[in-house]
Amino acid sequence: MIGKRIFVSDIPYTIEGKIGHGLHSIVYGARDLYSGEYVAIKIISFTPGSASNQQLFQKELDMLLYLQELNPYVIRVFNYDYNERYGVIVMEYGKTLRDTFISYVISGKRMSPSLIHSFWSQMVQAIYYMHQIGIVHADCKPENFIQVGPGGTNLRLIDMGISFQLPANMTSRLQTAAGTPDYVSPEMVNTRVGLGAQSKYGYKSDIWALGIILFEMTFGFRPLQNLGGNRTKLTFLARLTKRDIVVPNHPDRDLYDIIRWCLRSNPRRRPTIEQILNHPYLTQKR
């Protein structure tokens, strides 16, 4: 595939390298031969005789196109095409926020308070636009944020973990949440009735995940990171009903306060996305 020229809706691209893959897709870095721009091309193969990948592709494409106008923090789609064998989406390219987190861990350095503030405020706004239109993201984690623009300072959501795609049974949702339960809220583990758009718990699970990400950027590790395997983590979360996670002390009291508020075990005691936007941590410059 590398070095190959492909056409998507009559626009030519040269595939330059593989940059990622999901359960159902491969994502390539490619050059748009008209604009010269480097883009990400996601290709989903359709299995003959099975409609499932085709349906997943259609759902993802429809949701991405729907959100283009409604949420400026969703990855920009430049082009797309599909036939009976595969579907293709051409998007803005960027590195994932997870890669940036990893390079901080490797170098032993911490993110500056202003960078943490800038990233988190963009994530909060990305989720705000989702909640405004009744969508629970439900899979908010650094892997799903891409850094674009000069210096990679602008964040975009790539994976729409949309509420109406959630299976009714949370166990299957947890199994699909690639790998780690580190961003999963206690009620996601305990609720068996699902987190549909109607459920107030769904929104609060996004708030929990935002709290975990802010904790991770601030302290350089995730609260559940060193707890053991996934089963141990899920048991820990399931038992977190009466007490809250311990948040290390921090000299920035607004930052400390918002992390603790987002990480309340009881979802009713967590802030809404609007309350976060009005919290001094976000209203005051860092």
Ligand X SMILES: Nc1ncnc2c1ncn2[C@@H]1O[C@H](COP(=O)(O)OP(=O)(O)OP(=O)(O)O)[C@@H](O)[C@H]1O
Annotated binding site for ATP: 42
- Asked if 23 is part of the footprint of ligand X (rule: CB under 6 A), the reply reads yes
**How far apart are CB 160 and ligand X at their closest, in Å?**
9
Residue facing ligand X at closest CB distance: 22
Annotated binding site: 42
* Nearest-angstrom CA–CA distance, 247 and 244: 9
* Nearest-angstrom CA–CA distance, 24 and 34: 29
Which candidate, 284, 277, 119, 145, places its Cα nearest to that of 207? 277
Helices 113-132, 200-219: inter-axial angle, 10-degree rounding: 170
Per rule CB under 6 A, count of chain residues that contact ligand X: 21
**How far apart are CB 205 and ligand X at their closest, in Å?**
17
Q: Which stretch binds ligand X (CB under 6 A): 10-18, 66-74, 93-101, 109-117?
A: 93-101
The H-assigned helical ranges of 8-51 are none
Q: Which stretch binds ligand X (CB under 6 A): 9-17, 21-29, 219-227, 269-277?
A: 21-29
End-to-end CA distance of the chain: 45
Q: Helix (H, G, I), strand (E, B), or coil: what is residue 9?
A: coil
* Nearest-angstrom CA–CA distance, 51 and 271: 40
* Two tokens, residue 14: 């040269």
- Give the nearer residue to ligand X in terms of CB position, either 24 or 286: 24
Residues 38-67 that bind ligand X (CB under 6 A): 40, 42
**How far apart are CB 68 and ligand X at their closest, in Å?**
14
Contact in structure between 216 and 222 (CB atoms under 8 Å): yes
Question: How far apart, in Å, are the Cα atoms of 167 and each of 99, 106, 164, 194, 230?
Answer: 29, 37, 8, 7, 20
Q: Which stretch binds ligand X (CB under 6 A): 85-93, 184-192, 221-229, 251-259?
A: 85-93
**How far apart are CB 87 and ligand X at their closest, in Å?**
11
- Asked if 269 is part of the footprint of ligand X (rule: CB under 6 A), the reply reads no
Q: Which stretch binds ligand X (CB under 6 A): 90-98, 101-109, 129-137, 186-194?
A: 90-98
Residues 133-192 that bind ligand X (CB under 6 A): 143, 146, 158-159, 178
**How far apart are CB 256 and ligand X at their closest, in Å?**
31
- Asked if 111 is part of the footprint of ligand X (rule: CB under 6 A), the reply reads no
* Nearest-angstrom CA–CA distance, 34 and 78: 12
Residues that bind ligand X (CB under 6 A): 19-25, 27, 40, 42, 75, 91-94, 96, 143, 146, 158-159, 178
